[in-house]
Chains A and B, each alone.
Chain A
Amino acid sequence: MNAPVASLPLLHVADLSLEFRTRSGTVFALENIAFSLNKGEMLGIVGESGSGKSVLAYSMLGISDGAARVTAGTAMFGGADLLKASEHELREIRGREVSMIFQSPRTALNPIRKVGHQIEDVLKRHAAVRGVDLRERAIDCLKRVRIPDPARRYDAYPFELSGGMCQRILIALALACQPSLLIADEPTTGLDVTTQAAIMELLSSLAAEQNMASILITHDLALAAQYCDRIAVMHAGHLIECGPAEEVLNAPHHPYTRRLIASTPHTAPSIAAMSPIPGNLPDLRRSDLPPCRYAGRCERFEAACNAAPLPEFAITPHHTVRCWNAE
């Protein structure tokens, strides 16, 4: 599934830096982010809150907060640079080529509009479906995300549906135009573990059916490792390690990735064996941020770490790590 594709990657992000200009200073939220994504591949972006996972996703869709400025970089998608595209161009891409699923399904849906009509809105805008076909296509969309009794659910309001069912509606909305890239921002946070399994199975089987690439943003390393082909680990606005899921999980090279794995309850044999990560994320408003933003928390830190900009080493052709002292 993760065999390298000879042709160009579907999405290629290079050198992306982004900052927020706020009254309390400039927040250097992303710095020199680079990754690429092939057709049909699922990439997991993992990190603690505040590491920049969602900011990265929003920047690619042009839906960042007004205070955000992309200061460098490109995000090439199908021959166009998403970071430089005009709002008009982005409107044609969003929903049709690139779709997004948001974290809390209840707040992402319009509470006073029937879910069937919300799907029709997408079809009308992006697929130019008109008239009597509209209802049929919307019901088809509901059927595709395995909603039982879709013709009846068409008339339901979001409050009448469970959290898992609302998330299915959001997936139906996102996939209505069969996009080639889906960005899922914490799609199962707040859902029960059994519902989470059902949603993840649905997402990965739909992605396989349509050969759709997807980016799964999550803080759950075990979940990302179970479903993703590759995992990218973020810390304080840096993408510090990226590689095949099994490799990152079983043989991590960045000290932060190692500590992150050691602090998840999934892998720990006992509470005492869990090793928390010392310290906190650095304040990203500092103008004197060290080249390595993990330096203050790192047990392998040496003075040489901050003498030069962060390097990128390739452990294998598909596994990169950004650390002077990688293991």
Chain B
Amino acid sequence: MNTPLLRVERLVKHFKVGRNAMLHAVDDISLDIAPGESVGLVGESGCGKSTLSRVLARLIDADSGHIHFHDGAQESDLAASPAARFARHAQRGVVQMVFQDANDSLNPRYLAQDTIAEPLRLLVGMKDAAAIKARVEELAGWVGLPTELLGRYPHQLSGGQKARVGIARALASSPRLLILDEPTAALDVSVQATVLQLLADLKARLGLSYLFVSHDLNVVRLLCDRVVVMYLGKVVEQGPAQEVFAHPHHPYTQMLVAAIPDPHRKGQPAQIMQGEARSPINPDPRACRFHGRCPHGEPRCELHTVSLREVAPQHLAACHLLED
């Protein structure tokens, strides 16, 4: 494998939720993102995928761990400078984020062109108004936003157009990695299809890497090269997207894949997850986080943890059952 664009090493983020109570949102996570690769991050709500993406976008600080970023020959640890100062970091522009709800993430009092121009002024340092205007129009062209819409406010734009403004803003600082947090969750299927095609097209054209956070597994299957499955703060499985969906190894991934709506399974009883999820607050360090809901749980699952092991080339899973 070539040098990854981003190498995340043993990243930990715990939140204090009370006296002696720590919520383990991100617990010792390592992963790589190669240049030009798109990685899907999936898992149920509360599994820590949003916390992980916010740490990687350097909006919040990790407790420990490293985020190595390789740009050409240069290497820097993005985790080394605190989030509060990261806004002025030289690398601020290289990791950008597209937020989930285009409604809430656009300033309602900014015209579309102001939204796209802001990172050009703040991160790229452009000052010449004509140059900024030209660049804004170029970015609008990339995302398929007609230039006559640039003078509109968010409330005058449709959901798909707002999503395009959010993507254009993220592209303004010429990032290498885009973190996309459910960018199509609020869109109708027909609009979702155009936005997904736009994302696939931009990735190919600009050589971007994506970290695509989603719980729509069908979208991940289509857009991503690799998929990382999280469960309660841990990575339980990762590997090539087609391979993970076709041959999931971890029992949680198996249930996740089985739960994707499928008209061909009509009338067949689905495999339903039993019991309640374990609490992410002060979890037992020895027990598997999925124990209790896992249909194959054994006593040893509660006694010692298991780390990711290779089950096929590039395909890792963490489960005792895979040891035998």
The total of chain A residues at the interface (CB under 8 A) is: 40
Min C-beta distance of B205 to chain A, whole Å: 14
Any chain A CB within 8 A of the CB of B107? no
Q: Which residues of A contact B156 (CB under 8 A)?
A: none
Known: A197-B272, A268-B222. A49 touches B188 (CB 8 A): yes
Known: A163-B45, A192-B44. A271 touches B261 (CB 8 A): no
Q: Which residues of B contact A263 (CB under 8 A)?
A: 189-190, 192-193
Any chain B CB within 8 A of the CB of A169? no
Any chain A CB within 8 A of the CB of B75? no
Q: Which residues of B contact A245 (CB under 8 A)?
A: 263, 266
Choose among A201, A221, A275 the residue that contacts B269 (Cβ–Cβ < 8 A).
Answer: A201
Binds A, one of B23-31, B118-126, B168-176, B194-202: B194-202
Known: A194-B256, A225-B266, A260-B190. A276 touches B197 (CB 8 A): yes
Any chain B CB within 8 A of the CB of A264? yes
Task: Kindly name the residue among A49, A194, A266, A277 whose own CB sees the greatest number of chain B CB atoms within 10 A.
Answer: A194
Min C-beta distance of B323 to chain A, whole Å: 25
- CB contacts under 8 Å to B, within A267-302, are 268, 270-272, 274-277, 280
In the complex, the answer to whether B261 meets A276 with C-beta atoms within 8 Å is no
In the complex, the answer to whether B266 meets A271 with C-beta atoms within 8 Å is no
Known: A259-B190, A263-B189, A265-B218. A198 touches B196 (CB 8 A): no
In the bound complex, what is the Cα–Cα distance between A275 and B197 (angstroms)?
Answer: 9
The total of chain B residues at the interface (CB under 8 A) is: 38
Min C-beta distance of B111 to chain A, whole Å: 21
Q: Which residues of A contact B44 (CB under 8 A)?
A: 192-195
Any chain A CB within 8 A of the CB of B128? no
In the bound complex, what is the Cα–Cα distance between A221 and B194 (angstroms)?
Answer: 18
Any chain A CB within 8 A of the CB of B313? no
- CB contacts under 8 Å to B, within A153-187, are 162-163
In the bound complex, what is the Cα–Cα distance between A277 and B269 (angstroms)?
Answer: 33
In the complex, the answer to whether A222 meets B190 with C-beta atoms within 8 Å is no
In the complex, the answer to whether B45 meets A196 with C-beta atoms within 8 Å is no
Q: Which residues of B contact A163 (CB under 8 A)?
A: 45
In the complex, the answer to whether A198 meets B273 with C-beta atoms within 8 Å is yes
In the complex, the answer to whether B272 meets A270 with C-beta atoms within 8 Å is no
Any chain A CB within 8 A of the CB of B63? no
Known: A225-B263, A226-B266. A193 touches B193 (CB 8 A): no
In the complex, the answer to whether B217 meets A194 with C-beta atoms within 8 Å is no
In the complex, the answer to whether B190 meets A148 with C-beta atoms within 8 Å is no
Choose among B188, B196, B217 the residue that contacts A193 (Cβ–Cβ < 8 A).
Answer: B217
Any chain A CB within 8 A of the CB of B149? no
Choose among B45, B222, B272, B275 the residue that contacts A201 (Cβ–Cβ < 8 A).
Answer: B272
Name the CB-closest residue of B to A163: B45
In the bound complex, what is the Cα–Cα distance between A276 and B187 (angstroms)?
Answer: 12
Name the CB-closest residue of A to B271: A197
In the complex, the answer to whether A223 meets B222 with C-beta atoms within 8 Å is no
In the complex, the answer to whether A193 meets B263 with C-beta atoms within 8 Å is no
Name the CB-closest residue of A to B277: A162
In the bound complex, what is the Cα–Cα distance between A272 and B201 (angstroms)?
Answer: 9
Any chain A CB within 8 A of the CB of B219? yes
In the bound complex, what is the Cα–Cα distance between A265 and B185 (angstroms)?
Answer: 13
Known: A193-B215, A276-B197. A265 touches B263 (CB 8 A): no
Q: Which 8 A-B pairs have the closest CB atoms?
A: A225-B263, A277-B190, A197-B259, A265-B218, A192-B44, A276-B193, A223-B261, A263-B193
Sample (27) of A-B pairs whose CB atoms are under 8 Å apart: A49-B188, A148-B276, A162-B276, A163-B45, A192-B44, A193-B216, A193-B217, A194-B44, A194-B273, A195-B44, A196-B259, A200-B270, A220-B261, A223-B261, A225-B261, A225-B266, A226-B262, A226-B265, A259-B190, A265-B216, A265-B222, A266-B260, A271-B196, A271-B223, A276-B190, A276-B193, A276-B194
**B residues neighboring A (CB under 8 Å):** 44-45, 158, 188-194, 196-197, 200, 215-219, 221-223, 255-256, 258-263, 265-266, 269-270, 272-273, 275-277
**A residues neighboring B (CB under 8 Å):** 48-49, 148, 162-163, 192-198, 200-201, 219-223, 225-227, 245-246, 249, 259-260, 263-266, 268, 270-272, 274-277, 280
